[in-house]
Structure 1
Amino acid sequence: MAKVLVAGVGMIPFAKPGNSAPYDEMGAAAGALALKDAGIDYGHVRQAYAGYVYGDSTCGQKALYRLGMTGIPVVNVNNNCSTGSTALFLARQAVASGAADCVLALGFEQMKPGALGSVFTDRTSPFEDFDKVTDDLVGMPEIPLALRYFGGAGLSHMKKYGTKLETFARIRAKASRHAKNNPLALFRQEVSVDDVMNAQMIWPGVMTRLMACPPTCGAAAALLVSEAFAKRHGLRTDVEIAAQAMTTDYPSTFEARDMMQVVGADMSRTAADQVYEQAGIGPQDVDVVELHDCFAQNELITYEALGLCPLGEAEGFVESGGNTYGGRVVTNPSGGLLSKGHPLGATGLAQCYELTHQLRGTADARQVEGARVALQHNLGLGGACVVTLYRQA
């Protein structure tokens, strides 16, 4: 398998629904930025993978045709909230296998305000089985589905380990401290733990509004190349995708009767274990992490799934400051989904953008000192999880 390098990354500022350009303009802008960052033109790209969730078929072509109509394969990808990293996964496979030596992964999303919901209501929902288990375990059918899932997972952790609601508020406050240094983030205002706790309670005792990420529009992209291609064209070779894994649901998702499993804890844990084994390292070797904090509750659960702390010890990890600068490992220096925003198709590639700059040492005020190994976690219910490990090459 060929070594896969991140030659270029691009990202546009994330925006509230209604305040962004159309999806095709956003996608083309992010793609152009990745090409400019790499120092190469679109004519060198041999394949492209375009990720989005809310859109008609071939939106990827509409966005990429703005960069050029070169006849290359363009594959449209939809894997719920892990769409962007699924596009990255496919692009990496193409380069690693030798199928193509220069591949663009692009993600974009033009979202509407409000909670996520189904578009096609005249057919079986892919969440049918998830809803049945959630109805049994937590009820609350009046609450939007995403809040039921992840709020239920947080409640499971609270009941099992005695985790306090304030701990989730600490995670949200940490996200805001990081995001204030990110000019591309949607929310850059710092909030305190008290601010989070005093926000509107959308599930009494379980979740406040500030613990949930906002619907967001945006786009991001990454150009992946083989080492031989990079050397042939004089491109940078300093960031490598050292390992990557994608998992989907296991029987435990439903059989464990635990909302933490319903929202993908086993998918995350297994993908992370596979990545550590491929790379020949452990979680203790990771310097910086971008993980899928669609809710503060999911960030806490994911600490344990990725092995950043032992099972049941996430609260102590948070209270000790182990998840931020000066602690064990910096998580979501970008501000994460909670503050940076969550344009579904773009999220995984925005994580790639952040971690690439961290390993280059070009993350400005967000820079994690001495970062050499970076871990990315992107989760989509229904379900798929992609974990990617980057290393200074």
Structure 2
Amino acid sequence: MSQKVYVAGVGMIPFAKPGQSGTYIEMGAQAIRLALQDAGLDYDKVQQAYAGYVYGDSTSGQSALYEVGLSGIPVINVNNNCGTGSTALYLARQAVESGAVDCALAYGFEQMQPGALKDHWTDRPTTYGMGMDVSRRIFPEGENMPNALRLFGGAGKEHMDKYGTKVETFAAIRAKASRHAANNPLALFRKVVTTEDVMNDQVIWPGVMTRLMACPPTCGGAAAIIVSERFAKKHGLRTDVSILAQALVTDKVEAFDPPSLISIVGVGMTRQAATEVYEKAGVGPEDIRVCELHDCFAHNELLTYEGLGFCPEGGAEKFVLDGDNTYGGHVVINPSGGLLSKGHPLGATGLAQCYELTHQLRGTADKRQVEGLQHALQHNLGLGGAGIVTLFGRG
């Protein structure tokens, strides 16, 4: 019999540029301590831990956790590309919901290097080979581009070609992110930029993308304490934020056939995971008023509006132009500033999203607060692939 699951505590450190942060050990340990402090819980009560990171050697999770304490608990290291943090959260939730444990820790960190993402194991096949093969057939001229730019930028261009979406719409999404991040003291970029500023920034793909439309390499850490109802009652922990439904999915055949760049960057995974979550919780996209989603590029944010059902297929540009993605509109997207402005330390990203939505549901998001919330939706994506959608609720 499944147990009700609560987010008892969350922690997050300010995100920073590569070279301006502590080590992954320091960042991970600090985030864990903040989550324990927020929960009002001693570390020796934690029964399992799930550590998320992408760029690090095996058992890096133990290295960070050992700074907090040596209690002998199981530590599972998780690597699911950019969806790593939410995958750690998924496993912690699953362990508690199933009754395997009553208190689990999910944490993530990343000590990133400057510049575009790159392969670190060059003596063997790259991951997501099926997707890269499709991209070569569709867009052979992109062979020398960084992979993420080629895939997500290409998907945005496909949307432009298919639906007439303008590059200025992607710029407007980035400008919106900056306005939200201005109220987030933990965000990497807090400077407000306009649509015109984004359009006038360095061009990295003529007619498709400027530099500001891509998220920056970022270092950081975040953590969450996940507990059962009986554990929360026994230890006097808060029960104001629960995980109502969660889905983790991988690609299906239609991601690769027929060939489409929009498909291979995970829109199908997003749609499948969102559908599963909505059905399990008995809600629909019309019930969602706040969402933290995976805006690694402004282009992916636009595609995700459609994948999550906030607007019809081909309707994302109108959704943006009508102001339905910000305060006063249908759903406030990325009140934290998102990956574009808050930053994207891969292993920490999903747990930073959890941090933001937990505070939104508690009513403690300060100037970022979205009023009258009952639900909060989280979307995190890793190519290769992992699509994770989580629905949080009040109490």
- Report how far residue 190 of structure 1 moved: 0.3
1:199 corresponds to which of 198, 201, 213 = 201
* Runs of 4 or more consecutive aligned structure 1 residues displaced over 3 Å after TM superposition: none
Question: Is the 2:179–2:192 contact (alpha carbons within 8 Å) kept by the matching residues of 1?
Answer: yes
- In 2, the alpha carbon distance for the partners of 1:175 and 1:137 equals 30
2:358 corresponds to which of 356, 359, 368 = 356
- Report how far residue 285 of structure 1 moved: 0.5
Secondary structure in 2 matching 1:118 = coil
- In 2, the alpha carbon distance for the partners of 1:121 and 1:62 equals 26
Aligned twin of 2:27: 26
Secondary structure in 1 matching 2:318 = helix
Aligned twin of 1:335: 337
Secondary structure in 2 matching 1:214 = coil
- In 2, the alpha carbon distance for the partners of 1:121 and 1:163 equals 37
- In 1, the alpha carbon distance for the partners of 2:271 and 2:226 equals 26
1:35 and 2:36 correspond: yes
- In 2, the alpha carbon distance for the partners of 1:131 and 1:96 equals 37
- In 2, the alpha carbon distance for the partners of 1:6 and 1:76 equals 20
Q: How does 1:320-331 map to 2 (within 5 A)?
A: 320-331=322-333
Aligned twin of 2:71: 70
Aligned twin of 1:346: 348
Tell me the alpha carbon deviations over residues 336-360 of structure 1, each in whole angstroms, 9 at most, x when there is no partner: 0000000000000000000000000
Aligned twin of 2:171: 169
- In 2, the alpha carbon distance for the partners of 1:382 and 1:131 equals 10
- In 2, the alpha carbon distance for the partners of 1:275 and 1:329 equals 17
Secondary structure in 2 matching 1:263 = helix
Tell me the alpha carbon deviations over residues 52-91 of structure 1, each in whole angstroms, 9 at most, x when there is no partner: 0000000000000111110100000000000000000000
- In 2, the alpha carbon distance for the partners of 1:245 and 1:130 equals 22
Structure 1-normalised TM-score?
Answer: 0.99
Name the Cα RMSD after superposition: 0.5
Tell me the alpha carbon deviations over residues 103-125 of structure 1, each in whole angstroms, 9 at most, x when there is no partner: 00000000000000110011111
Aligned twin of 1:48: 49
Aligned twin of 2:385: 383
The residue type paired with residue 297 of structure 2 is: F
Tell me the alpha carbon deviations over residues 314-341 of structure 1, each in whole angstroms, 9 at most, x when there is no partner: 0000001000000000000000000000
Tell me the alpha carbon deviations over residues 119-170 of structure 1, each in whole angstroms, 9 at most, x when there is no partner: 0011111132221111111221121000000001101111111100000000
- In 2, the alpha carbon distance for the partners of 1:320 and 1:138 equals 32
Question: Is the 2:243–2:390 contact (alpha carbons within 8 Å) kept by the matching residues of 1?
Answer: yes
Tell me the alpha carbon deviations over residues 166-214 of structure 1, each in whole angstroms, 9 at most, x when there is no partner: 0000000000000000000000000000000111110111111000000
- In 2, the alpha carbon distance for the partners of 1:228 and 1:315 equals 46
- Report how far residue 256 of structure 1 moved: 2.2
Secondary structure in 1 matching 2:256 = helix
1:276 corresponds to which of 278, 281, 301 = 278
Q: How does 1:92-171 map to 2 (within 5 A)?
A: 92-139=93-140, 140-171=142-173
- In 2, the alpha carbon distance for the partners of 1:255 and 1:284 equals 30
Aligned twin of 1:60: 61
- In 2, the alpha carbon distance for the partners of 1:265 and 1:111 equals 26
Question: Is the 2:128–2:385 contact (alpha carbons within 8 Å) kept by the matching residues of 1?
Answer: no
- Report how far residue 369 of structure 1 moved: 1.1
> Tell me, which stretches of 5 or more residues in structure 2 are unaligned?
none
Aligned twin of 2:189: 187
- Report how far residue 287 of structure 1 moved: 1.4
- In 1, the alpha carbon distance for the partners of 2:179 and 2:323 equals 13
- In 2, the alpha carbon distance for the partners of 1:259 and 1:190 equals 31
Aligned twin of 1:7: 8
The residue type paired with residue 294 of structure 2 is: H
Q: How many residues align?
A: 393
The residue type paired with residue 221 of structure 2 is: A
Secondary structure in 2 matching 1:388 = strand
Aligned twin of 2:375: 373
1:245 and 2:247 correspond: yes
- In 2, the alpha carbon distance for the partners of 1:181 and 1:31 equals 24
1:82 and 2:83 correspond: yes
The residue type paired with residue 43 of structure 1 is: D
- In 2, the alpha carbon distance for the partners of 1:310 and 1:38 equals 40
- In 1, the alpha carbon distance for the partners of 2:44 and 2:56 equals 26
Aligned twin of 2:321: 319
The residue type paired with residue 127 of structure 1 is: Y
- Report how far residue 296 of structure 1 moved: 0.1
- Report how far residue 93 of structure 1 moved: 0.2
- In 2, the alpha carbon distance for the partners of 1:174 and 1:143 equals 27
Q: How does 1:207-222 map to 2 (within 5 A)?
A: 207-222=209-224
- In 2, the alpha carbon distance for the partners of 1:376 and 1:138 equals 31
- In 1, the alpha carbon distance for the partners of 2:126 and 2:342 equals 29
- In 2, the alpha carbon distance for the partners of 1:258 and 1:125 equals 20
The residue type paired with residue 299 of structure 1 is: E
Aligned twin of 1:265: 267
Secondary structure in 2 matching 1:124 = coil
Comparing 286-295 with 125-134, greater Cα deviation is found at 125-134
